[in-house]
């Protein structure tokens, strides 16, 4: 093929950033309309933070609070920032199952036969899931305040929310990849839980790690969810922040850099 | 492969050109060296049973999957090297309605308009216009999962027209629809064809191919076993038959003899089906039909019924290949009829 015709092909085929934004916008609208059509799909984002916050505060609050050298109120200050990390994780899993269901519907064939950047479909999913995550986080914070959480540093709070969203979006790429690669929503969910449970509980989200056995501590120390929880804690209630903050950012950027291209590639080539 | 007519212009005004296309899934040869030319503005029917490779062909031509070997161009764009340009000129209507079930009809069309880079205002007006045209205006705001099967297919057709495609793929557009709805969808497709779009239609039904297509490619086991103008193919496989039931069965044989003597059809001879008390007369054209009816009338015989029948896909296969269609197929939506040699 001559250089000229190659040029024409490339010029004609390129999808501008504006077009990308337009396509992603149209697909975000689609996902938002789903919510209007099926409000029950928001139950997890609304109920999960309420149930988990109340459960942890009232079930474990007393005893862990005592161990922290105080009572339930001290545990509230401890666990609410930690739950921030949990919201991202749980929402990320639901994007995987939801996308898997979506992928198996006929409309994906139409999307894939349209002249759009294939990434748009995934970006739209992530954008909507981030909105759901912000909603879940807001509800969690409201419940937290109702059971005694003191917001002392609004700037820190916003920074913690932003950090959790950043890490959450990185996790979403992981689960989107699973959603594309695995065959059924059930398998996405099954594998998700298998990964989710040890990561959530083997971290500093719900309890300080000092009393855990050494082998577990070496895991919790490298678990990015510990870093996120500790960074959020530092930002919201005070304490050291810098190192955990950078570790979380590094994990987020690293995961996104590796998983986003894989997810888009898998999506593009799936038949 | 039986080549029935030679179309010298196949390449010149070709909207879809396929050469030696191969796609294997493990041991299964979904496509095993397919050649196809669809002339601009024509309707090419691809007829074959389930598993013949029809859907694989459409998926390759819409860039959803890549071929293992061979070449295909659509409107001059190569399916492998120029997928993005190609996607601008095609419309796809899948076997299963490829619209978003949870969105209202209007939102589906608007979304596709935006994905095709139409400005908001234009996407809106085109969505309105197409809903109107496909008689879906009243259902515009309802989610698609409340639609009937026929409404879904019509919305799917509308969706594939949002981008004003030059080449339209209709992959078994009426499979699974009841006869009345099927006729509605056919009427819509005919209108779309009237607008000058080139259509590649896959179907399991001879009747559908006859209704919509001007040319036909018959596929089986991933291979083209016959192609050509639909009239030529019909002549080869016997085309329609006229089933005549005299009021008095005693008239069967004399009538058959008289018709054969007249030599109207010049093809296979008239068959007497004495069990049913009917005659089966092969015909190729409406003129022949008229002549046969005229001959019957001239004899002054009372006729209880006359119906026309199309060969089923199975019979088409039988006459082209000498064997039955390779895979079990859905019930053919023509009148049930007994076996007759064509």
Q: What is the pLDDT of residues B72-111, one digit of tens each?
A: 999 999 999 999 899 999 999 877 658 998 999 999 999 9
Cα–Cα distance measured from residue B30 to residue B221, given in angstroms and rounded to the nearest whole number: 7
pTM value is: 0.79
**Predicted local distance difference test score (pLDDT) of residue B328:** 44
H-run or E-run covering A256: helix A242-269
Question: Contact A13/B63, CB-based, under 8 Å?
Answer: no
Cα–Cα distance measured from residue A180 to residue B59, given in angstroms and rounded to the nearest whole number: 19
**Predicted local distance difference test score (pLDDT) of residue A3:** 38
Residue B245, strand partner residues: B305
Q: What is the dihedral of CA B189, B92, B214, B136, to 10 degrees?
A: 0
Cα–Cα distance measured from residue A270 to residue A144, given in angstroms and rounded to the nearest whole number: 43
Minimum distance, in Å, between the CA of residue B80 and any CA atom of chain A: 12
Please give the share of chain A, as a percent, with pLDDT higher than 90: 50
Residue B88: which of A29, A110, A115 has the nearest Cβ? A115
pLDDT at B202 over 70: yes
- Residue ranges, comma separated, of all CATH 3.30.70.100 domains in chain B are 240-309
Question: Contact B85/A13, CB-based, under 8 Å?
Answer: yes
Residue A113: which of B85, B90, B100 has the nearest Cβ? B90
pLDDT at A5 over 50: no
Question: Contact B82/A13, CB-based, under 8 Å?
Answer: yes
Put simply, whether A20 touches B (Cβ < 8 Å) is: no
Question: Contact B114/A22, CB-based, under 8 Å?
Answer: yes
Q: What is the pLDDT of residues A153-171, one digit of tens each?
A: 899 999 999 999 999 999 9
Superfamily of the domain at B2-235: P-loop containing nucleotide triphosphate hydrolases (3.40.50.300)
Whose tokens are 């109920």? That residue is A47
Q: Which of B94, B98, B126 to mutate to test the interface with A (most CBs of A within 10 A)?
A: B98
Confidence band, pLDDT 50/70/90 cuts, at residue B206: confident
Whose tokens are 């309420």? That residue is A50
**Predicted local distance difference test score (pLDDT) of residue B156:** 92
Mean of pLDDT values over A26-50: 90
Confidence band, pLDDT 50/70/90 cuts, at residue B322: low
**Predicted local distance difference test score (pLDDT) of residue B274:** 80
Q: What is the pLDDT of residues A249-271, one digit of tens each?
A: 999 999 999 999 999 998 887 75
**Predicted local distance difference test score (pLDDT) of residue A4:** 36
Please give the share of chain B, as a percent, with pLDDT higher than 70: 84
Structure-block tokens of residue B221: 């086991």
- Residue ranges, comma separated, of all CATH 3.40.50.300 domains in chain B are 2-235
Cα–Cα distance measured from residue B218 to residue B2, given in angstroms and rounded to the nearest whole number: 10
Whose tokens are 């093929």? That residue is A1
Q: How many CA atoms lie within 13 A of B156 on its CB side?
A: 30
Confidence band, pLDDT 50/70/90 cuts, at residue B329: very low
Among A124-133, A235-244, B9-18, name the one with the lowest average pLDDT: B9-18
Of B227, B223, B222, the closest CA to residue B53 belongs to B222
**Predicted local distance difference test score (pLDDT) of residue B342:** 33
**Predicted local distance difference test score (pLDDT) of residue B266:** 54
What integer best gives the mean pLDDT of chain A? 87
Mean of pLDDT values over B263-286: 75
Which chain B residues have a beta carbon less than 8 Å from that of A12? 84-85
Contact map slice: A 190-249 vs B, CB within 8 A: none
Put simply, whether A9 touches B (Cβ < 8 Å) is: yes
pLDDT at B334 over 50: no
Please give the share of chain A, as a percent, with pLDDT higher than 70: 95
Mean of pLDDT values over B222-238: 80
Whose tokens are 């049973």? That residue is B49
Cα–Cα distance measured from residue B147 to residue B136, given in angstroms and rounded to the nearest whole number: 10
Cα–Cα distance measured from residue B159 to residue B98, given in angstroms and rounded to the nearest whole number: 9
Question: Contact B92/A110, CB-based, under 8 Å?
Answer: yes
**Predicted local distance difference test score (pLDDT) of residue B232:** 76
What integer best gives the mean pLDDT of chain B? 83
**Predicted local distance difference test score (pLDDT) of residue B327:** 45
Minimum distance, in Å, between the CA of residue A9 and any CA atom of chain B: 7
Reduced 3-state DSSP string for chain B: CEECCCCCCCCCCEEEEEEEEEEEECCEEEEEEEEEEEECCCEEEEECCCCCCHHHHHHHHCCCCCCCEEEEEECCEECCCCHHHHHHHEEEECCCCCCCCCCEHHHHHHHHHHHCCCCHHHHHHHHHHHHHHCCCHHHCCCEHHHCCHHHHHHHHHHHHHCCCCCEEEEECCCCCCCHHHHHHHHHHHHHHHHCCCEEEEEECCHHHHHHHCCEEEEEECCEEEEEEEHHHHHHHHCCEEEEEEECCHHHHHHHHHHHHHHCCCCCCCCEEECCCCEEEEEECCHHHHHHHHHHHHHCCCCEEEEEEECCCHHHHHHHHHCCCCCCCCCCCCCCCCCCCCC
Q: Where does residue B221 fall: left (phi above 0), alpha (psi -120 to 50 degrees), or beta otherwise?
A: left
pLDDT at A12 over 70: no
Question: Contact A33/B159, CB-based, under 8 Å?
Answer: no
pLDDT at B66 over 60: yes
Residue B94: which of A13, A37, A106 has the nearest Cβ? A106
Put simply, whether A113 touches B (Cβ < 8 Å) is: yes
- Looking at domain B240-309, its CATH class is alpha beta
pLDDT at A93 over 60: yes
pLDDT at B298 over 50: yes
Confidence band, pLDDT 50/70/90 cuts, at residue B270: confident
Confidence band, pLDDT 50/70/90 cuts, at residue B324: low
Q: What is the pLDDT of residues B35-50, one digit of tens each?
A: 999 999 899 999 988 8
Widest pairwise Cα distance in chain A: 77
Question: Contact A106/B96, CB-based, under 8 Å?
Answer: yes
Question: Contact A30/B84, CB-based, under 8 Å?
Answer: no
Q: Which of B26, B77, B100 to mutate to test the interface with A (most CBs of A within 10 A)?
A: B100
Structure-block tokens of residue A14: 């390129």
pLDDT at B336 over 50: no
């Amino acid at each position: 093929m001559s250089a000229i015709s190659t040029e024409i092909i490339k010029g004609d085929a390129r999808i501008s950033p504006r077009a990308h934004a337009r396509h992603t916008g149209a697909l975000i609208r689609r996902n938002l309309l789903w919510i209007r059509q099926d409000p029950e799909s928001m139950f997890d984002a609304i109920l999960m933070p309420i149930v988990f916050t109340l459960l942890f505060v009232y079930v474990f609050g007393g005893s862990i609070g005592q161990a922290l050298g105080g009572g339930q109120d001290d545990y509230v200050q401890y666990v609410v920032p930690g739950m921030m990390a949990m919201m991202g994780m749980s929402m990320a899993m639901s994007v995987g199952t939801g996308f898997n269901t979506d992928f198996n519907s006929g409309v994906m064939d139409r999307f894939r036969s349209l002249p759009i950047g294939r990434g748009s479909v995934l970006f739209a999913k992530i954008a909507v899931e981030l909105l759901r995550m912000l909603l879940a986080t807001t509800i969690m914070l409201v419940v937290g305040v109702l059971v005694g959480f003191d917001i002392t540093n609004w700037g820190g709070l916003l920074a913690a929310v932003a950090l959790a969203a950043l890490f959450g979006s990185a996790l979403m790429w992981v689960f989107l990849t699973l959603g594309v690669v695995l065959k059924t929503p059930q398998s996405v969910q099954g594998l998700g839980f298998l990964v989710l449970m040890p990561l959530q509980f083997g971290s500093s989200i719900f309890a300080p790690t000092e009393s855990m056995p050494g082998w577990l501590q070496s895991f919790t120390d490298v678990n990015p969810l510990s870093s996120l929880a500790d960074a959020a804690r530092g930002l919201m209630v005070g304490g050291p922040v810098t190192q955990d903050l950078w570790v979380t950012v590094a994990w987020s950027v690293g995961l996104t850099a590796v998983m986003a291209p894989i997810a888009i590639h898998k999506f593009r080539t799936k038949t | 492969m039986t080549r029935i007519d030679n179309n010298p212009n196949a390449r010149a005004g070709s909207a879809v050109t396929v050469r030696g296309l191969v796609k294997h899934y493990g041991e299964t040869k979904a496509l095993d060296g397919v050649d196809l030319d669809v002339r601009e503005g024509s309707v090419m029917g691809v007829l074959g049973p389930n598993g013949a490779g029809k859907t694989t062909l459409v998926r390759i031509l819409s860039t959803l999957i890549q071929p293992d070997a061979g070449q295909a161009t659509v409107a001059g764009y190569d399916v492998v090297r120029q997928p993005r340009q190609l996607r601008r000129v095609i419309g796809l209507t899948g076997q299963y309605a490829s619209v978003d079930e949870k969105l209202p009809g209007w939102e589906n069309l608007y979304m596709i308009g935006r994905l095709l880079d139409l400005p908001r205002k234009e996407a809106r007006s085109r969505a309105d216009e197409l809903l109107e045209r496909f008689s879906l205006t009243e259902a515009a705001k309802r989610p698609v999962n409340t639609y009937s099967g026929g409404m879904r297919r019509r919305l799917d057709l509308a969706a594939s027209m949002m981008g004003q495609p030059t080449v339209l793929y209709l992959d078994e557009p009426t499979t699974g629809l009841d006869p009345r709805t099927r006729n509605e969808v056919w009427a819509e497709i005919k209108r779309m064809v009237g607008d000058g779009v080139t259509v590649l239609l896959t179907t399991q039904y001879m009747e559908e191919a006859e209704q919509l297509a001007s040319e036909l490619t018959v596929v089986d086991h991933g291979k083209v076993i016959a192609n050509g103008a639909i009239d030529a193919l019909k002549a080869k496989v016997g085309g329609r038959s006229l089933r005549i039931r005299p009021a008095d069965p005693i008239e069967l044989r004399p009538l058959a003899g008289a018709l054969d003597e007249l030599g109207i059809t010049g093809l296979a001879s008239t068959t007497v089906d004495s069990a049913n008390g009917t005659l089966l007369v092969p015909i190729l054209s409406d003129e022949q039909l008229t002549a046969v009816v005229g001959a019957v009338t001239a004899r002054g015989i009372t006729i209880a019924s006359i119906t026309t029948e199309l060969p089923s896909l199975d019979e088409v296969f039988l006459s082209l290949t000498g064997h039955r269609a390779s895979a079990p197929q859905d019930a053919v939506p023509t009148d049930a009829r007994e076996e007759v040699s064509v």
